[in-house]
């Protein structure tokens, strides 16, 4: 059976906030902040996932024309360069190909327009059309999203070419029925507040109200729909204990290693098994 052709889609500015690919302060020392992409590469090189999948493209949506993106990527830049920090080790290769040769940008340049601008919806559709063209060019069967800071519309609607072919790895439990549910961009910070007995009721003002502490968090691997982390869950892992004294990066490191990487691995294995089983859902 041919391998499933993967495309990886992320926002570099989100990975920069994690200090991905760099050492971070951790309880008086340092630990290396491995990105989900680097974990995926290692899994494709060294586990049975590599028998089922090939990585064909690593796509980012960051826009060099936006001052905010340039500021967030000031220490990294928009492409790897000698002597500058980057999101994965120099020379990292996946199944015999250098990862940096698979990297490309499809800028979400519609973000240059104000939220209420009448031209913005058409510009958003044009971005998704460019992304569609790139995915078709590389022959992507499945798209893995990691920290993409835009919401997809056209690509994931029922009946669209990539409906149920785009999945997201999210650093929080996304099932609404779970007491540990943490959707959205603030999932890790939300979990940290929760461990301290706080619920943020307004992320603009950071106003909180007291709640019973919850000292665990996890990660979800789910299909992408038009909502925010609202797609059908393929698998999740609730494997991270929270110390209320954690910093955001300490908790981020713990959650990546204890929940998010396992959920990514398990989710991809489940999808591969479904593909190999005739009649599987």
pLDDT, tens only, 7-30:
999 999 999 999 999 999 999 999
Number of domains in the chain: 1
Return the pLDDT at 280.
Answer: 56
pTM, rounded to two decimals: 0.96
Residue 210: strand pairing partners = 198
Q: How far is CA 87 from CA 10, 32, 142, 172, 259, in A?
A: 12, 11, 22, 22, 20
Residue 261 DSSP SS3: helix
Look at residue 15 in the predicted model and tell me its pLDDT. Answer: 98
Indicate which CATH number applies to the domain containing 254: 3.40.50.170
Residue 101 maps to a domain: yes
Q: Is 112 part of any domain? A: yes
pLDDT digit string (tens) for 81-131?
888 999 999 999 999 999 999 999 999 999 999 999 999 999 999 999 999
Whole domain around residue 83: which residue ranges? Answer: 4-174+216-276
Q: CA dist 141 to 5, 145, 169, Å? A: 5, 13, 17
**Does residue 187 fall inside a structural domain?**
no
What residues of the chain score a pLDDT lower than 70?
A: 278-281
Q: Is residue 207 part of a domain?
A: no
How far is Cα 105 from Cα 58, in angstroms, rounded to an integer?
Answer: 8
Strand order in the sheet with 142-146: 103-105, 53-60, 4-10, 142-146, 166-170, 216-223, 233-241
- State the DSSP code for 66: -
Considering the domain boundaries, does residue 10 fall inside one? yes
For residue 184, being part of any structural domain is answered with: no
The reply to whether 164 falls in a domain is yes
pLDDT at 277: 83
pLDDT of residue 83: 86
pLDDT for res 281: 53
Cβ–Cβ under 8 Å, residues 222 and 147: no
The answer to whether residue 133 is domain-embedded is yes
Q: Where are the alpha helices (DSSP H) in the chain?
A: 12-17, 36-46, 49-52, 67-72, 120-138, 187-195, 248-255, 261-276
Would you state the pLDDT for residue 82?
A: 87
């Amino acid at each position: 059976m041919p391998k499933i052709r993967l495309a990886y889609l992320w926002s570099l500015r989100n990975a920069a906030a994690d200090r991905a690919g760099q050492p971070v302060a951790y309880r008086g020392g340092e630990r290396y902040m491995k990105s989900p992409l680097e974990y995926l590469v290692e899994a494709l090189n060294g586990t049975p996932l590599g028998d089922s999948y090939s990585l064909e493209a690593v796509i980012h949506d960051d826009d060099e024309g936006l001052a905010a993106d340039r500021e967030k990527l000031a220490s990294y830049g928009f492409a790897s360069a000698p002597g500058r920090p980057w999101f994965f080790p120099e020379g990292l290769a996946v199944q015999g190909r250098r990862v940096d040769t698979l990297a490309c940008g499809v800028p979400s340049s519609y973000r240059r327009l104000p939220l209420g601008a009448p031209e913005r919806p058409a510009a958003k559709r044009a971005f998704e059309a460019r992304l569609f063209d790139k995915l078709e060019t590389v022959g992507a069967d499945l798209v893995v999203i990691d920290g993409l800071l835009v919401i997809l519309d056209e690509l994931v609607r029922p009946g669209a070419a990539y409906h149920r072919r785009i999945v997201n790895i999210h650093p929080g439990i996304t099932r609404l029925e779970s007491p540990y549910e943490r959707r959205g961009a603030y999932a890790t910070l939300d979990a940290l507040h929760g461990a301290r007995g706080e619920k943020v009721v307004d992320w603009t003002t950071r106003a909180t109200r007291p709640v019973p502490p919850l000292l665990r968090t996890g990660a979800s691997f789910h299909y992408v729909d038009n909502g925010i982390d609202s797609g059908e869950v393929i698998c999740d892992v609730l494997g991270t204990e929270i110390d209320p004294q954690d910093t955001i990066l300490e908790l981020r490191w713990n959650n990546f290693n204890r929940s998010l990487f396992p959920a990514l691995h398990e989710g991809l294995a489940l999808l591969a098994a479904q593909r190999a089983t005739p009649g599987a859902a």
